[in-house]
Structure 1
């Protein structure tokens, strides 16, 4: 979808409930436990993004476009999202070992019914349990997978800790073990390789430039305000790129993360179906 076409679809349309988006904490305010979202830690690294009302950040809005959401976006009109040229969406399902996003069920079902290819993500909390425990919780609470052509593999959202120490108090060796345990447990539960969402800065710092996941997990890289995202050590390329946190899309009230898939729509379907 070309940027001009997307630019014509920036009307803020709510669903019939009239529920508006809640305002996430300001950059200098703490995030309450369980309330993190994809990019909450990224903004600590890359700075708070901002945009004028109604504008789309002028990044790469060509190709296969997607968004990621959580309860912070409020009620979403998924039919309008689809009409705005969005082909895929990820939504927060879980965090840590006990939090489930309050909007997950509505978003997961609504996006599917509107014809989007969708998936779920887990916000990692490596300081509260081991990776296997959190992978099991995720798989049991929205992170499952089925070969229906509409369900993408789950995402491990592992980024700068918005609650405290950047690397959650783990050494690079401990972090590698945590991620590997999450990966192995998720694959055992779903048969799929978990997608990893991260930033180059966080990954290189907190895993010690680890290359151990490069041939196993598709990479979802977060790098805002650039035309050429930096990727972590060892990964050959990115599969999804989160290029802004201040995009606008018809059907969503306020800013929403915008993403691009690295390939054609047919390749996106192949990722959903786990086919070559």
Structure 2
């Protein structure tokens, strides 16, 4: 009986080993298929995505943060790229104490590769606006030919009223303007701007709208349009936000720091 029991245990082990090997093989096969389909999807986007870029007198750019990982700015600026990236808007800070982990690298490399750069702050509506402005000022040193400072606001607060939120936004904008000597640019989505930010009429608008529209915000003379969040470009692994500046290079130079 003991010998039969030993044989039975050996067969069971062999059986489970075979199942395990088969599962590994199936997993590897699925992974390879996923990689292949991902490759095909990327090639499809790189081949056809340009047709989705709105037509008009625009300059093409992107906006990036740490979520894009380490960017190969040399490839990004190459004439071989599917896109001619003229400008990049780079997240510098978020809230009262966060600094984007790739900000310094992106800031230096974009300039090194002759890409016009801009720095933006992601506004956290539940945090103190003065501390958020101080965070941006402590981390961002602007130079001639850079974009003005940019405030990214896209969420309501959970702890304060809309009016109080607006006061905080205005405070941030005033502090930044006082420090850099130029009015910041406001970034937000079409509907958020209409519902909560239409009072800020004196500020240039960078608007986000991914719908197939001719104009993302007809009632406002916006200067930039984030028209997609799933672009693919050489030098960046994975999707990236795509943007258009409204005008030509001569127009763009008028907005840059002197």
TM-score above 0.5: yes
Q: Are residue 119 (structure 1) and residue 106 (structure 2) matched?
A: no
Q: In the superposition, relative to structure 1, how do residues 77 and 186 fare at CA in structure 2: closer, same or farther (>3 Å)?
A: same
Q: Are residue 138 (structure 1) and residue 136 (structure 2) matched?
A: yes
Q: Which has the larger radius of gyration?
A: 2
Whole-Å separation in 1 of the counterparts to 2:160 and 2:190: 18
Whole-Å separation in 2 of the counterparts to 1:157 and 1:273: 19
- For the Cα contact (< 8 Å) 1:239–1:261, is it kept in 2? yes
Whole-Å separation in 2 of the counterparts to 1:231 and 1:132: 29
Whole-Å separation in 1 of the counterparts to 2:213 and 2:41: 20
- For the Cα contact (< 8 Å) 2:88–2:117, is it kept in 1? yes
- For the Cα contact (< 8 Å) 1:59–1:227, is it kept in 2? no
Residue 210 (structure 1) aligns with: 198
Give the paired residue count: 209
Residue 200 (structure 1) aligns with: 190
Question: Larger helix proportion, structure 1 or 2?
Answer: 2
Q: Secondary structure at the match of 1:260?
A: strand
- For the Cα contact (< 8 Å) 2:59–2:86, is it kept in 1? yes
Q: Secondary structure at the match of 1:133?
A: helix
Whole-Å separation in 2 of the counterparts to 1:226 and 1:197: 19
- For the Cα contact (< 8 Å) 1:93–1:138, is it kept in 2? yes
Whole-Å separation in 1 of the counterparts to 2:257 and 2:180: 13
Whole-Å separation in 2 of the counterparts to 1:155 and 1:239: 12
- For the Cα contact (< 8 Å) 2:73–2:110, is it kept in 1? yes
Q: Deviating runs (4+, > 4 A) in structure 1? A: none
1:202 is displaced (CA, Å) by 1.7
TM-score (norm 1): 0.70
1:210 is displaced (CA, Å) by 3.5
Whole-Å separation in 1 of the counterparts to 2:66 and 2:189: 23
- For the Cα contact (< 8 Å) 1:221–1:241, is it kept in 2? yes
Residue 241 (structure 2) aligns with: 257
Whole-Å separation in 2 of the counterparts to 1:227 and 1:81: 27
| Superposition CA RMSD, Å | 2.0
